[in-house]
Amino acid sequence: MNPLYPNVARRAGHRCEYCRAPEAVFNFPFEVEHILPKSRGGTDDEANLCLACRSCNLRKSDRIVAFDERSGEDVPLFQPRDQRWDDHFRVEDESGEIQGLTATGRATVRILELNHPLQLTARLLWIRLQFFP
Ligand SMILES: [Zn+2]
């Protein structure tokens, strides 16, 4: 496990900083994710780290931008250290879908597949159990 996990997880409130999945309902710790990937010069400084669930970490991989269909441009992905989640996303109560409110939000939702059927099934259950949001 990453030695910085305890600090990163505490700072994140033990939630994925991309999809807000609650770590408490998983049977393994979430992952310490490099916002700017090490392959692109990112460091292990805590300002470059966030907590991510397996799904978000795998799908983000070494990406820092993604295509936003509405603006027709590559835009930066959501950056949990510099940006507020609520400024870029909102959760639809009925469907459990996460909607992107900005180009960054939309591109992040799409590339991380935040509304994948498996994500939605789990999120609706977490909502019912009051683990989400
Ligand atoms: Zn996630």
In a domain, residue 61? The reply is yes
Residue 19 lies in a domain: yes
Residue 100 lies in a domain: yes
Quote the pLDDT of residue 133: 87
Per the structure block, which two tokens stand in for 42? 């990112």
DSSP state of 2: -
For residue 36, is it within any domain? yes
**pLDDT, mean of each 10-residue run, the chain (133 residues):** 95 98 96 96 97 98 97 97 98 95 98 97 95 91
CA 15 to ligand 1 center in whole angstroms: 8
Neighbours of ion ligand 1 (CB under 5 A): 16, 18-19, 21, 53, 56
Spacing, Cα 34 to ligand 1 middle (Å): 14
Residue 123 covered by a domain: yes
User: Is 26 a member of any domain?
Assistant: yes
Return the pLDDT at 1: 84
Domain count, the chain: 1
Structural domain includes residue 76: yes
CB-based contacts of 24, cutoff 8 Å, min separation 6: 14, 131
Residue 30 structural domain: 5-128
Q: Answer yes or no: is 133 within a domain.
A: no
Burial of residue 73 (CB within 10 Å: 0-12, 13-18, 19+) is: exposed
